Amino acid sequence: MNADPTAPVKALLQFIETERAFGATNWPVPAKGKIADKAAALAALYEERKGCLACALGTTRTKFVFGAGDPAARLLFVGEAPGFDEDQQGLPFVGAAGQLLTKIIEAMKLTREKVYIANCLKCRPPQNRNPLPEEILACNPILKAQIDIIHPEIVVTLGKFAAQTLLGSDVAITRLRGRFYDWNGVKLMPTLHPAYLLRNPSDKKLVWEDMQKVMKELGIA
């Protein structure tokens, strides 16, 4: 028996770094339950990466925005990157778009505490500009380790960047959204970003259609 509770996540991180060094893009997911204590594994990952300087955003961030929620969540939301409020508070989706995401989650008969919420990038791009390819590449190992540890039943990606990053696709989000994809054994549902919905409220019905499919899959419809 391994005496170090952080050993599994250290081994996972080492494996991921090795894969990254060889340019791998298709990351294997450990069998469900392989990492027994998901909370400890996430905490170890946070400690390992909270001072990350793997891309230039590490020098301009106010706070590292790791993610929040239930480490054993059945449902994981993945957005693009922290904005101003998230950068100030160190928490994901706490600004106006975050409040809309909270309403979406509650409409699904869930709470923020019962799901997990993270972003592709853990540090805010200056002036909320789009993430650069090298920033996404540098930050991917952290997100993928989070997904490996949580091993949710469903990942919902919010907006273009998260969907395209995880699916390795350049197809428009309007064409990607609304159906499940297989991501290393996890069901992935792309949908529109809450920030987009704030600008285009008439498209909220599309997100609700997508979330109803997620609810049905989770057995909470």
- Site for ligand SF4 contains 162 (CB under 6 A): no
Spatial separation of the C-alpha atoms in residues 35 and 25, rounded to whole Å = 22
Minimum Å distance from CB 195 to ligand SF4?
18
Under 8 Å between Cβ of 152 and 185: no
Q: For ligand SF4, how many residues bind (rule: CB under 6 A)?
A: 13
Q: At what angle do helices 7-21 and 133-150 cross, to 10 degrees?
A: 150
Q: Residue 50 is inside which H or E element, if any?
A: none
Rg value, the chain, Cα: 16
Under rule CB under 6 A, residue 16 binds ligand SF4: no
Identify how many contiguous H helices and E strands the chain contains and give both numbers. Answer: 9, 6
Nearer to ligand SF4, 63 or 114 (CB): 63
Nearer to ligand SF4, 117 or 214 (CB): 117
Joined together, the tokens standing for residue 87 give 């950068």
CA distance 37 to 97: 31
Candidates 86, 135, 148, 210: give the one binding ligand SF4 (CB under 6 A): 135
Please report how close the Cβ of residue 53 comes to ligand SF4 at its closest, in angstroms.
6
Which one of 138, 156, 188, 207 is in contact with ligand SF4 (CB under 6 A)?
138
The neighbour count for residue 133, using CB atoms within 10 Å, is: 9
CB 123, min distance to ligand SF4, A: 3
Give residues 31-90 in contact with ligand SF4 (rule: CB under 6 A): 52-55, 57-58
- In angstroms, give the least distance from the CB of 137 to ligand SF4: 9
From 176, 174, 182, 194, select the one nearest 154 (Cα to Cα): 182
* Of 58 and 90, CB closest to ligand SF4: 58
Contacts with ligand SF4, residue ranges (CB under 6 A): 52-55, 57-58, 121-123, 135, 138-139, 142
